[in-house]
Amino acid sequence: MYKINDNYLKLPGSYLFSTIGKKVAAYSAEHPEKKIIRLGIGDVTQPLAPAIIEALHKAVDEMGNAETFHGYAPDLGYEFLRNAIAKNDYQDRGAEISADEIFVSDGAKCDAGNIQEIFSTDNRIAVCDPVYPVYVDTNVMAGRTGTYDPKTETWSDVIYMPCTAENGFVPELPKETPDLIYLCFPNNPTGSTITKEQLQEWVDYANKVGAVIIYDAAYEAYISEKNVPHTIYECEGARTCAIELKSFSKNAGFTGVRLGYTVIPKELKCGDVSLHALWARRHGTKYNGAPYIVQRAGEAVYSPEGKAQLKEQVAYYMNNAKTILEGLKEAGYTVSGGVNAPYIWLKTPDKMNSWEFFDYLLEQAGVVGTPGSGFGPSGEGYFRLTAFGSYENTAAALERIKKL
């Protein structure tokens, strides 16, 4: 008789955003007359930029013609896209990454979930607390996290690094030594970021203790301040200790288009074994490439027109962030984030816990956000709002919140 992977049974409840979806659906069904404004899941709302639409149409036409049809893509992704990424996201910033160190994929969520597969299940992971749930949940599924304590909502074998108001939502080096360190800056969910000097400390630490940093830079396009690193490879020594994950979802609105990439430098080795070679093997065996038309859309992100249009799109969302930040401050909330990131992190008022505030905001203002506790125990008493709505909805949501 077959058996299941019983690590799955250890997972408490269902995935955070599924739970929110169900709560909102139930509320909508009961109150069909109420217009709900969603500032929760971090999904974008602006249409794809014209340069991207044009690239998609062109690629679709190519697929309709035998001479220009494209079948299976190269394992690592098309060179035209990997070259554009290497040049624009790395080399132009002085970060030494070459096209053949880039693995194109269907999104950073998948890569964030799959990357742990090339590591031993004995490895100990360290995560920020609060944190994007995918890092921990996928390690639970792999059997790397020990047992769950429902009282503290923590796993026995996970090293949690609290990110709180006290440390400016930037983690301190852990007391116990981890093997894999997940870092995400600009941060989801807190919207905080890290200076280049602070990140350099992490790189030095990882090289010293023999850990790998899995650096999620999905929100890099939202950086507005100087001295905030756009990639971990701006730091010296990162090529021997860091994997970087990038997404096209937030800088180009690709949440429904699906494109991302992972960088593994060739110097990143465990003894003699190249992690680049392991990930190439996984990519070639368990994945079959991002669609040709989507990779052409990705290329258009780096065209002069694409860049200009997406700069405007990011500015649009960052204007929303400013609207939320200022509106919340005006309403008396304690807030952070929203300057180098599309997320605003607020302290729930009146000692409400995160889910109480979720229900309160949904029922009283018809506004959906994300409970901070869904991201980890140190997120309790916090709440995340995103800048990815339309300006009209964002402004309307803030008017409603101010009236509470």
CB of 399 to a second copy, least distance (A): 21
C-beta closer to a second copy: residue 45 or 164: 45
Q: Is 63 in the site for a second copy (CB under 8 A)?
A: yes
Q: Is 120 in the site for a second copy (CB under 8 A)?
A: yes
C-beta closer to a second copy: residue 379 or 389: 389
Per CB under 8 A, the list member of 211, 228, 339, 362 interacting with a second copy is: 211
Q: Find, among 182, 184, 180, the residue nearest to 193 by Cα.
A: 184
Within 234-293, the residues that bind a second copy by CB under 8 A are 253, 255-258, 270, 273, 275, 278, 281-282, 284-293
Q: Is 24 in the site for a second copy (CB under 8 A)?
A: no
Q: Is 121 in the site for a second copy (CB under 8 A)?
A: yes
Per CB under 8 A, the list member of 5, 30, 35, 351 interacting with a second copy is: 5
Per CB under 8 A, the list member of 141, 352, 395, 396 interacting with a second copy is: 141
C-beta closer to a second copy: residue 194 or 294: 294
Q: Other C-beta atoms within 10 Å of 313: how many?
A: 19
- Angle of helix 16-30 relative to helix 354-365, nearest 10 degrees, comes to 30
CB of 216 to a second copy, least distance (A): 14
Task: Report yes or no: 341 and 384 within 8 Å, Cβ to Cβ.
Answer: no
CB of 403 to a second copy, least distance (A): 27
Q: Is 307 in the site for a second copy (CB under 8 A)?
A: no
**CA–CA gap between residue 375 and residue 342 (Å, rounded):** 17
Q: Look up residue 40 and give its amino acid.
A: G
Q: Is 131 in the site for a second copy (CB under 8 A)?
A: no
C-beta closer to a second copy: residue 213 or 341: 213
**CA–CA gap between residue 241 and residue 176 (Å, rounded):** 18
CB of 389 to a second copy, least distance (A): 11
Q: Which stretch binds a second copy (CB under 8 A): 26-34, 41-49, 323-331, 358-366?
A: 41-49
Would you call 402 helix, strand, or coil by DSSP?
A: helix
Q: Is the N-terminal amide bond of 130 cis, ω within 30° of 0? A: yes
Q: Look up residue 188 and give its amino acid.
A: N
Q: Find, among 230, 246, 244, the residue nearest to 194 by Cα.
A: 230
CB of 283 to a second copy, least distance (A): 10
CB of 231 to a second copy, least distance (A): 21
328 to 367: interface string for a second copy, x by CB under 8 A: ----------------------------------------
Task: Report yes or no: 135 and 126 within 8 Å, Cβ to Cβ.
Answer: no
Q: Other C-beta atoms within 10 Å of 68: how many?
A: 12
Q: Look up residue 27 and give its amino acid.
A: Y
Q: Is 35 in the site for a second copy (CB under 8 A)?
A: no
Q: Which stretch binds a second copy (CB under 8 A): 104-112, 183-191, 332-340, 362-370?
A: 104-112
C-beta closer to a second copy: residue 277 or 404: 277
Please, which residues have CB within 8 angstroms of residue 173's CB and are 6 or more apart in sequence? 201, 202, 205
Would you call 404 helix, strand, or coil by DSSP?
A: coil
C-beta closer to a second copy: residue 291 or 349: 291
CB of 210 to a second copy, least distance (A): 3
Q: Is 64 in the site for a second copy (CB under 8 A)?
A: yes
Size, binding site for a second copy by CB under 8 A: 82
Q: Is 110 in the site for a second copy (CB under 8 A)?
A: yes
Strands 37-38, 367-368: pairing is parallel
Task: From residue 292, give the alpha-carbon distance in Å to each of 72, 77, 81, 169, 285.
Answer: 8, 9, 10, 39, 19
Q: Is 315 in the site for a second copy (CB under 8 A)?
A: no
Distance between terminal CA atoms of the chain? 57
18 is written with which tokens? 């599924």
- Rounded to the nearest 5°, which phi and psi values hold at 388? -90, 5
**CA–CA gap between residue 196 and residue 235 (Å, rounded):** 7
C-beta closer to a second copy: residue 41 or 331: 41
